[in-house]
Structure 1
Amino acid sequence: MTGKRYPTVAAVALVCAATVLAAPGTAFANPSPTPGTSPTPRTSPIPRTDTSLEQVREEIDELYHDAGVATDAYNAAEEKAEKQSEQIVELAKDIAKGQAKLKKLKARAGAAARAQYRGGGMPSEAKLMLSDDPGQFLDGARRMRQGEKATKGMLTELERTQDDLRIYAKDATARWTKLEANRKSKAAAKKKIKRKIAAAEKIESTLEKKEQERLRKLEEAAARKKQSAWVSSGVLKDIDGKSSARGKKAVEFATAQIGKPYVWGAEGPGSYDCSGLTSQAWAAAGRGIPRTSQEQWKQLPRVDVKNMRPGDLIIYHSDASHVGMYLGDGAIVHAPRPGRNVTIAGAGSMQILGVVRPDT
């Protein structure tokens, strides 16, 4: 079965119109009038040149890239915290079971001690030796050996249960410590994400409407230039892999999300971040993969670009901070960045780090 394919000409036209990742920075503010002086008459703002707008675009792109890195850190900390919470719950259940078992064992040990006390404290061996009936003596000796074995087993089990409880308690304490550390990491990443996005939005808010449109066109031009260079390298002539059955399902899920907004930390169904989209698409195809783009790069099998097929994941930037799903014909579907929606873009419109395949 093949994945979703696009005629090459149509695909290139489509990806050329797609938006690439952009990123935030520091705002350009108009100076406030000095107290006690008359405000100067307002004049129309000096239009920015394409050169200055390109600098703005690069600054915004860098800020959103930093927000993407922080988002990966946030998602990783959240995933770890969820796993640790689940493990702590399981440990709590083990501790509860161990405590119930210990209570029963102690009750049995107490019953044995009380039985011995009621017997006057005379050892069973002495009672047997005083018996005149050989049969009773032998029968009693057998029961005594069984009783001693049972008592020894009970005491061993009691000691083992106490050791288990000590280990469980120590493990739970360690996991609580890690959980707290991951919560702090998540909070720090969240703060950084918000700060970077706010800085980017502040820059964009200083732009006039026409400048915002020109900025978007500059973004598209930058993406088009990178895509064109990638296509001109001849890489596409060697890429003709067919999608697997699961890869096709993953592609169908991902493309069905087109138009939904990017929201950092989101895994659907109404919004996604980049790795939230790819991980959920493959989950829908019946294959669980790591939550973050960095872990997807670390853990999933890698394939050469020339061998990639629809459904494979393309990891971007040297720090593996972005991911998109390959559709075929040089296109990807991805969740670009805050302020943008899930869309189709050129696979070569960003710096490719490598390709991974969830269903090798």
Structure 2
Amino acid sequence: MAQNTNTQALSDAGVSIWLDDLSRQRMSSGNLQELIDTRNIVGVTTNPSIFQSAISGRSEYDEDINRLTGEGKDVEQIVEVLTTDDVRHAADLFADLHASTHGFDGRVSIEVDPRLAHDTDKTIAQAKHLFAVVDRENVFIKIPATEAGLPAITAAIAEGISINVTLIFSIERYLAVMDAYLTGLERAAKAGKDLAKIHSVASFFVSRVDTEIDGRLETLDTEDALALRGQAGVANAQVAFGKYLEVFASKRFEALQAEGANVQRPLWASTGVKNPEYPDTLYVDSLVADPSVNTMPEKTLEAVADHSEPQASLNAELATSAESVLERLTEAGVDLTDVFAVLEREGVEKFEKAWNELLDTVSESVEAARA
């Protein structure tokens, strides 16, 4: 099967396309393999919401739930088995790609329990645990970029665990994430770890920024404010790429690179367009960057395959230009510091809610199995 022309063009431009979804049905039906073969999918990311959607009301998991219930496992243990089994299976599908790209692609992400987002020590412990349970070199453990998550990122990287840092919204926090990664690499080097085997991506959220800021601009209801709708998410990510270029051209990283270290690629997350007034490929076409990852829900992926019109690849000049958009937002009366604090808090809360719903769903199945 041939790759789609539009997705191939993105791949050729340095964009690794990951599917923002995973389910047992998607793998068993051959759909995931088809997307690998025809849509340039080179990785998969998961989160609590994705697992809740995959498992809720699906018969594919019933046999395992019944068996695990019979073995005396509790609900949280069963959820761990179901989710890590799916991630392991997906990792195996990507194993050859992972090997051929020397660990760059062929990645599958699984997130630490979102209820631990503000507990550094427990996050570190679970990152180690999940890495051991999945037992695949091409797994990424997802750790949120909360204040408590930053030292956990450093500790996990220092242990040689590859990390997908999630829930990044602000430039300030993104700089702290890159520092946490470099500090982890420095500790790993001192401990004699092979830096070439440690990889990381930093998931910078896009559409949620527009949703929050557009609402505030509409409340302000001035001509200047309304003219800025739909610009914040892209501009914020473009500025972030400029910071990436600066950090990974620094002497600090050059010293690590000489020991085999890899860059921490920016990953554009939350790329499904939520406002129907905006082009449905907005957060793909406007964020072509080499290197980068764009993790897309299937609806966005198919829109890209059908009618993507990618813009010029991001560079330092475009990043500098995008800074003026953030300045204009501030001048219009948008409190960006508050925006990003709200988005981080709501992001953690949404994942906690989805995780608790997943536990409730499996709990019901367990009770039915025991009846």
- TM-score of the alignment, normalized to the shorter chain, above 0.5: no
User: Greater Rg, structure 1 or structure 2?
Assistant: 1
Tell me the TM-score normalized by structure 1.
0.23
Higher relative contact order (CA 8 A, sep 6+): 1
